[in-house]
Amino acid sequence: MSEGQHTHTVTLTVNGDVHTAEVEDRFSLADFLRKKLGLTGTHLGCEHGVCGACTVLVEGEAVRGCLMLAVQADGQEVTTIEGLADIGGNLNTLQQAFMDNHSLQCGFCTPGILTTLTAFLQDTPDADEISIRKALSGNICRCTGYDTIVRAALSAAATLRAGQS
């Protein structure tokens, strides 16, 4: 920790576990998750809030981990990519749809896309292709050309709807 940098003690619930740590005020939430908690599934692609790779869920909302400071997340509940699969490590519906549809290649942007879609499908269970593409327009994927991601989201939405009815 650099001298002269203000620090705060923060307490966050991350993927169900409570963590308390001292953190420099300037630490982003993504840096905090990666460097302090060792949760390296959250990836940094641009660190200026455009690419969406670092997206995590804060109180269920999709948030850019590079634009939110760790201190802003004090007292809140955070879900990262590591928290999406169940405790046994089984892929959830959306993750399985990604595997089935070849929705990832290098996999670097995938954590942010999964978290973005998790929040979106929660809010929009009847999502159609156009709304999914809009929801994804803040996440850059260089590998896939997006089509297989959209297909996975549509398929996961259908599965989730069927499960609820």
Partner 1 sequence: MSGQTFVGQSVKRLEDPDLLRGHGQFLDDLKLPGLLEAAFVRSPLAHARFTSIDTRDAQDMPGVVAIFTAKDLPKVMQGKRILLQVPNPAITNPVTQEPLASEEVCFVGEAVAVVVADTRHAAEDAAERVIVDWEPLPANGHCEQALKPGAGVVHADMQDNVAARFSLGYGDIDKAFKNASHVLHERYEPHRGTGHPMECRGVAAIYDTFAEAFRIWSSTQTPHNTQRGVVDMFDMPEDKIRVITPDVGGGFGPKNQVYPEEMVIPAVAQLLSRPVKWVEDRREHFMTTTQERDQVWELSAASDKCGVILGLKGTLIHDTGAYLPWGTIMPYISAATVPGPYRLGAYKLDITVAFTNMVPTTPLRGAGRPQAVFVMERMCDLIARELGIDAAEVRRRNFIPADSMPYEMGLTYRDGAPIIYDSGDYPEAQAQAMTRAGYDTFSERQREALANNRYIGIGIGNYVEGTGLGPFEGATIRILTNGRVAIYTGATPAGQSHRTTLAQICADQLGVDMSNIDVVVGDTGMMPRGAGTYASRITVNAGSSVQNASIELHGKLLKLAAAKFDVTEDDLKCIGGFVRIKGAQGDSISFSDLAKMTSGTPGYVLPKGITPDLEASAYFTPPQATYSNGSHVAEVGVDPETGLVTILNYTVVHDCGNVINPMLVDGQVQGGVAHGIGNALLERMIYDKDGNPLTTTFADYMMPRADMIPNCNIVHMESPSPLNPLGVKGAGEGGTIPAPAAIIAAVEDALRPFDIRITEFPISPQRIVALIAEAAQEKNGEQSNDAKQ
Residue window 126-155: x/- pattern of binding to partner 1, with contact defined by CB under 8 A: ------xxx-xx-xxxxxxxxxxxx-----
Our measurement of the distance from residue 107's CA atom to the centroid of its chain's CA atoms, rounded to an integer in Å, reads 13
Minimum CB distance to partner 1 smaller for 104 or for 157: 104
With a CB cutoff of 8 Å and minimum separation 6, the contacts of 38 are none
Q: Closest by alpha carbon to 101, among 48, 24, 156?
A: 156
Interface with partner 1 (CB under 8 A), residue from 7, 36, 82, 158? 82
Report if residue 10 touches partner 1, rule: CB under 8 A: no
Residue window 43-72: x/- pattern of binding to partner 1, with contact defined by CB under 8 A: xxxxxx-xx-x-------------------
Instruction: Give the H or E element holding residue 92.
Output: none
Positive/negative CA dihedral, 42, 67, 121, 135: negative
Report if residue 23 touches partner 1, rule: CB under 8 A: no
Interface with partner 1 (CB under 8 A), residue from 6, 16, 20, 38? 38
Distance CA 31, CA 155 (A): 33
Rg (CA), the chain: 16
Q: Closest by alpha carbon to 39, among 93, 128, 111?
A: 111
Quick one: which segment of 6-14, 26-34, 57-65, 67-75 binds partner 1 (CB under 8 A)? 26-34
Residues in contact with partner 1 by the rule CB under 8 A: 1-5, 24, 26-27, 34-35, 38-48, 50-51, 53, 80-82, 84-85, 89, 91, 95, 98-100, 102, 104-111, 114, 132-134, 136-137, 139-150
